Amino acid sequence: MTVKFLYFAWVREKIGAAEEHVVLPVDVRTVADVLAWQATRGDTYAAVFTAAGIIRVAVDQAHAQPAASIGGAREIAFFPPVTGG
Amino acid sequence: MTVKFLYFAWVREKIGAAEEHVVLPVDVRTVADVLAWQATRGDTYAAVFTAAGIIRVAVDQAHAQPAASIGGAREIAFFPPVTGG
Amino acid sequence: MVVRVQTADFDVGAELTAFTAGRTDIGAVVTFTGLVRGEANGRELRCMTLEHYPGMTEAELQRIDAEAHRRWPLQSSLIVHRIGTLHPGDNIVLVMAASPHRLVAFEAAAFLMDYLKSKAPFWKKEVAVDGTGSWVDARDSDADALGRWS
Amino acid sequence: MVVRVQTADFDVGAELTAFTAGRTDIGAVVTFTGLVRGEANGRELRCMTLEHYPGMTEAELQRIDAEAHRRWPLQSSLIVHRIGTLHPGDNIVLVMAASPHRLVAFEAAAFLMDYLKSKAPFWKKEVAVDGTGSWVDARDSDADALGRWS
């Protein structure tokens, strides 16, 4: 399954990219799974994604909780808590 | 003691005047006293002032409760509950 | 900190520009605009006349404004209320409250309106399209709204 | 019922005029304006960059707006949020809510801002006068404000 990953704010700056196209392992089924998998992708990713609970996730442009399924997702975004307004 | 009475909204319309200059009896000492006294000044006044609790009073341009003194007042206003905004 | 009673209309954009002009410490402005509705109690309205108590009105609005500043750390405030004859869709009242953060601005603006509705000596007379006039009764909900702040 | 994300400034007076134009059923409009403050955490600000998530931002603002209309009998609503580089004193966000009576308009406007602050995908990076940049942290008070509505 190929998915587009998007990064915003300091997550984007630390990863060093705004966008990636990624092939997800078949056993990565939930938001929590994808966060855990990101932390395994080398030091840079580990530094960003190991601090569990900080990074927020949107699946296909809607906020998603850790237990939510990512089955069929085309776009998964990773970002810090929002600070608009 | 001569005092200026002012009337507003439907109180003004029913009394038929916006303003009067009145000599108050010496035993009229509180807002409640002046409301009771107004009700004794003929049928028109009785009709307006007998319905106790409806008419609001301001003494020298500040809201005044029934127990408030009117000693030294120069201007007493009578009006229905306000409806601005 | 500014209170005005006037027959002329007000320009909300111009008032807001003046309200924040040259300042960089304001983070939040809450603006309330009250308008004449074309229908009241099922009757179509031709116009409305706003009567007030000259002198006391300004004094009472100043008291209400001072009370808001006593309760909240406001950077600025404005109350403008129209009098005279107004038509459906016309502006009646404008309230603004500014503070560094939004919760204070929201609360203070709501407080200013609640107090104005129950304390400021204005009275509305509605004239229906058939020409009959009637004084607007005070609403229980406005007294209830005031109770929130005690 | 209208949601916009834009780099350009907004004109509150023009927005308000358009918001109520030709209508005589609106009694109350509450307008919130958020502005860039010149100081943040004791540091003087040179400018601020607002980043967002194109596509999701508009979708999320639409969801927030729809939720407000589900909860209150709103006659109209507007959310305009700026992106890009902004300076102290600049407008950031505009929210308007209209209803026949003021309490609904006040509540809905406060709700729209609370939800926008916690749900809409915008991120602020502040640049101090010494050139150092830092991403703004989410505030606990915004999460608390959201809790009022659940």
Please give the Cα distance from A15 to D124 (Å, whole number).
18
State how many domains chain D has.
1
- The answer to whether B58 contacts C53, with C-beta atoms less than 8 Å apart, is yes
Residues of chain B with C-beta less than 8 angstroms from the C-beta of C137: 81, 83
Contact D32 C145 (CB under 8 A): no
Confidence of residue B52 (pLDDT cuts 50, 70, 90): low
Task: Report the percent of chain B where pLDDT is more than 70.
Answer: 98
User: What is the structure's pLDDT at D145?
Assistant: 87
Taking only the tens place, the pLDDT of each residue in D59-104 is 999 999 999 999 999 999 999 999 999 999 999 999 999 999 999 9
* Nearest CA among D41, A84, D12 for reference residue C17: D12
- Give pLDDT tens digits for A11-58: 999 999 999 999 999 999 999 999 999 999 999 999 999 876 789 999
Query: How far does the CA of residue C93 sit from the closest CA of chain B (Å)?
Result: 6
Q: Is B24 in the C-facing interface, judged by CB distances under 8 Å? A: no
* Domain housing D116: 2-147
C140 touches B at CB < 8 Å = no
Nearest CA in chain C to D113: C102
Instruction: Give the pair of three-digit tokens for residue C78.
Output: 């404005």
Give the pLDDT score at D143: 83
Instruction: Evaluate if residue B51 carries a pLDDT over 80.
Output: no
What pLDDT sits at residue D139? 86
For residue B10, the chain C residue with the least C-alpha distance is C135
CATH of the domain at C114: 3.90.1170.40
pLDDT value of position A52: 60
- Whether C1 shows a pLDDT value over 90: the answer reads no
Question: So what's the architecture of B2-79 in CATH?
Answer: Roll (3.10)
- The span from the CA of C14 to the CA of A14, in Å, is 44
Alpha-carbon distance of B11 to B13, in angstroms, equals: 5
pLDDT tens, residue by residue, D38-70: 998 888 999 999 999 999 999 999 999 999 999
Give the H/E segment covering residue D44: strand D43-52
Q: What is the share, in percent, of chain C residues with pLDDT greater than 90?
A: 88
Domain boundaries, chain A: 2-79
ipTM over 0.90: yes
Q: What is the mean pLDDT of residues B8-23?
A: 97
Confidence grade of residue C71 (pLDDT, cut at 50, 70, 90): very high
Can you say how many angstroms the Cα of residue B51 is from the centroid of all Cα atoms in its chain?
A: 13
CA angle C40, C34, D70 (to 5 degrees): 80
